[in-house]
């Protein structure tokens, strides 16, 4: 095992906190895990992070799919960000922490923003073939998970989309509905991710109602 791998593991273990079951109402920190997928709406990730950071006592970490990385600049992200390669960097033997399990323990709330059509299909069918979908598959259903669909209007209008959204809601997840606007591709209609201000408002509402925070 090389020095870089040991350092990465140590940093992970120092950044992750006790599970939500150990958090009491007097706790001053709330942990949000943002999952970002390969929609052009991932361009808004820096704005989403900075907006959420307005909430006092909030700590943020991010899980990104590889495709999502095409849409934002890593240098604009000032919080810990993990992707598929980190899962295996930090695990070499049976006693090592498993990243997707440690992240789901650390987080009090998960926010999928944006949730693209591909990852929506995976999650609704229980597929877990990358770090983000493994976190979701292992997610504690007693903790809130919010999702913000984002896709082309033609994808949104496909009959399977409604079924998949309904399946996620059946799991107990909360939809922050997409909106209608002119998309980057030039089409106009439903499919755009909710505005960051709307997402922020919903997160605050869930924190106040479910996590006794703020």
The torsion angles phi and psi of 198, rounded to 5 degrees, stand at -70, -40
Q: What does DSSP assign to residue 180? A: E
Q: Is the pLDDT of residue 108 over 50?
A: yes
Q: Which pLDDT score is estimated for 94?
A: 78
- Mean pLDDT computed over 108-132: 98
- Mean pLDDT computed over 173-184: 91
Q: What does DSSP assign to residue 141? A: T
Q: Is the pLDDT of residue 75 over 60?
A: yes
Query: Mean pLDDT in the chain?
Result: 87
* Alpha helices by DSSP H, 59-192: 84-89, 99-106, 117-124, 131-137, 153-157, 159-171
Task: Confirm if 64 and 134 have CB atoms less than 8 A apart.
Answer: no
- Mean pLDDT computed over 92-108: 89
Model confidence band, residue 97 (pLDDT cutoffs 50, 70, 90)? confident
The least confident of 94-103, 110-119, 197-206 is: 94-103
Which residues are tagged catalytic?
Answer: 185
Model confidence band, residue 16 (pLDDT cutoffs 50, 70, 90)? low
- Mean pLDDT computed over 96-124: 96
Model confidence band, residue 30 (pLDDT cutoffs 50, 70, 90)? very high
Q: How far is CA 122 from CA 59, 128, 167, 168, in A?
A: 27, 7, 11, 11
Task: Confirm if 117 and 161 have CB atoms less than 8 A apart.
Answer: yes
Model confidence band, residue 182 (pLDDT cutoffs 50, 70, 90)? confident
pLDDT > 70: percent of the chain: 86
Burial of 80 (0-12, 13-18, 19+ CB in 10 A): middle
Q: What is the Cα–Cα distance from 142 to 128, expressed in whole angstroms?
A: 20
Q: Which pLDDT score is estimated for 31?
A: 96
Q: Which pLDDT score is estimated for 15?
A: 58
Going from the N-terminus, what domains does the chain have, and what CATH number goes with each?
28-210 (3.40.50.1950)
């Amino acid at each position: 095992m090389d020095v870089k791998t040991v350092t990465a593991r140590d940093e992970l273990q120092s950044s992750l906190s006790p599970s939500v079951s150990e958090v009491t109402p007097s706790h001053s920190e709330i942990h949000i895990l943002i999952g970002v997928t390969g929609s052009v709406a991932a361009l808004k990730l820096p704005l989403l992070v900075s907006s959420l950071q307005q909430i006092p006592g909030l700590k943020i970490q991010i899980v990104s799919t590889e495709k999502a990385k095409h849409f934002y600049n890593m240098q604009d992200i000032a919080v810990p960000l993990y992707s598929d390669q980190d899962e295996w960097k930090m695990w070499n033997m049976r006693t090592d922490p498993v990243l997707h399990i440690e992240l789901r323990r650390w987080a009090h709330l998960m926010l999928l923003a944006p949730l693209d059509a591909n990852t929506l299909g995976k999650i609704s069918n229980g597929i877990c073939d990358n770090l983000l979908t493994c976190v979701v598959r292992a997610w504690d259903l007693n903790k809130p998970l919010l999702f913000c669909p984002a896709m082309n209007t033609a994808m949104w209008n496909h009959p399977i989309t409604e079924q998949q959204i309904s399946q996620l809601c059946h799991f107990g997840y909360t939809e922050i509905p997409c909106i209608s606007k002119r998309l980057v591709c030039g089409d106009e209609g439903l499919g755009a991710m909710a505005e960051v201000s709307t997402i922020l408002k919903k997160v605050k509402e869930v924190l106040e109602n479910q996590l006794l925070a703020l």
